[in-house]
Every structure is written in C-alpha cells, then in structure tokens.
C-alpha cells in the first residue's frame, strides 16, 4: 500500500498517465495479434471448394454441421452454396470441408446393405419356458390356484385331510 506522503508527492495524475500508457501498449499488441490471426483464418477459408454450415439452434441429437456443400458464389463476407437456394451464408457460419469422396446415393445404398446384413445375421434371443411349475403342481397334477382354493374350502368345511 502506498503511503499518504508518497501519494501526495506523485499525485493521481501521474498514476493515471502511467496506467493509460500501459493499457494502450497492451491494446496495440493484442489488436495486432488478433488481426494477424483473423486474416490468416479468413484467407484460408475463403478459397474453399466445399463448406459445412453450422446450425443456428442445434438439438442435442442432431449434427452440429451440415453435409459438405459445393460453393457456387462467394464474396468477402458471404457465400452461396449449391442445394440451399438463393440464400447467402456469412463466412462465420461456414467451416471448410474436404470434397466428398462418395455420393449420397452410394452412402444410402451401403447403409441399406448394412441394415439387411444386421437383420439377417442377428442372433435370436434364448427362448424362455413360460410354463414353469412349482413342487405343488408336480405332486398333485392340479394347477396351484386350484389347490389353494380347494385347501381353503376344505378347511372351512372341516373336511381337510390330516397332515
């Protein structure tokens, strides 16, 4: 902490000037670095043949980027892609993408064949015997529910067999 005597000698204007110079130097350095990185990124993405579009409000189960789309027209700030109509998309919504190696029809055909293979080769679940029997059923041959009703009726009538 600065003592009151030293503060009175230097004054607040000198401190303010020093702080202002420090902030100006830092701002110049960060602006130059940001501008250099921004131009390199922009120049690299502006000559792309194919781009992917970022979704505006992505759902948790939906992809964040579209399929690769061919660039038909470009400007300094926007791009128009094939298959999306007359809409211009800003470069900030675009990500450079490599040219697709397969067509959409080939991909659909491959997925269809994969789905057919999985359904024909899928193992069947083991069969479960629903007709499991208890010891009472095995000894008397009657269903268990009938035994309980019969035993209850015999107890009420007093004709239950001795145990």
Q: Do residues 37 and 5 both lie within one domain?
A: yes
Q: What is the pLDDT of residues 64-90, one digit of tens each?
A: 998 899 999 999 999 999 988 899 999
Is 38 found in the same domain as 52?
no
Q: Of 102, 121, 146, at which residue does a domain stop?
A: 102
Q: Into how many domains does the chain fold?
A: 2
Domain presence at residue 30: yes
Residues 40 and 60 in one domain: no
**Residues 96 and 55 reside in one and the same domain:** yes
Residues 41, 65: one domain? Answer: no
Higher pLDDT, 128 or 16: 16
To which residue do tokens 């189960």 refer? 61
What gap in Å lies between CA 75 and CA 101, rounded to an integer? 27
pLDDT in tens, 94-104: 999 998 888 87
Query: Can you give the length of the chain in residues?
Result: 163
pTM, to two decimals: 0.41
Are residue 23 and residue 41 in the same domain, yes or no? yes
**Interatomic CA distance for residues 66 and 44, integer angstroms:** 20
Positive/negative CA dihedral, 44, 48, 51, 53: positive
**Structural domain range at position 39:** 1-45
Is 15 part of a structural domain of the chain?
Answer: yes
Given a contact cutoff of 8 angstroms between Cβ atoms, the answer to whether 39 and 46 are in contact is no
Residue 140 inside a domain? The answer is: no
Strand partners, 90: 78
Question: Phi/psi at 59 (nearest 5 deg)?
Answer: -85, 160
- Domain membership of residue 133 (yes or no) is no
């Amino acid at each position: 902490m600065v003592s009151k005597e030293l503060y009175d000698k230097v004054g607040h204007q000198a401190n303010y000037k020093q702080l202002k110079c420090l902030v100006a130097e830092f701002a110049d350095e960060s602006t130059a670095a940001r501008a250099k990185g921004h131009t390199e990124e922009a120049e690299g993405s502006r000559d792309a043949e194919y781009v992917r579009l970022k979704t505006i409000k992505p759902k948790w189960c939906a992809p964040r980027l579209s399929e690769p789309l061919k660039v038909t027209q470009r400007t300094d700030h926007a791009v128009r892609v094939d298959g999306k109509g007359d809409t211009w998309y800003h470069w900030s919504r675009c990500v450079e993408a490599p040219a697709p190696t397969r067509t959409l029809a080939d991909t659909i055909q491959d997925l269809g064949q994969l789905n057919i293979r999985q359904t024909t080769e899928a193992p069947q679940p083991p069969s479960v015997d629903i007709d499991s029997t208890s010891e009472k059923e095995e000894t008397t041959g009657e269903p268990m529910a009938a035994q309980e009703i019969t035993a209850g009726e015999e107890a009420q009538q007093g004709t239950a067999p001795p145990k």
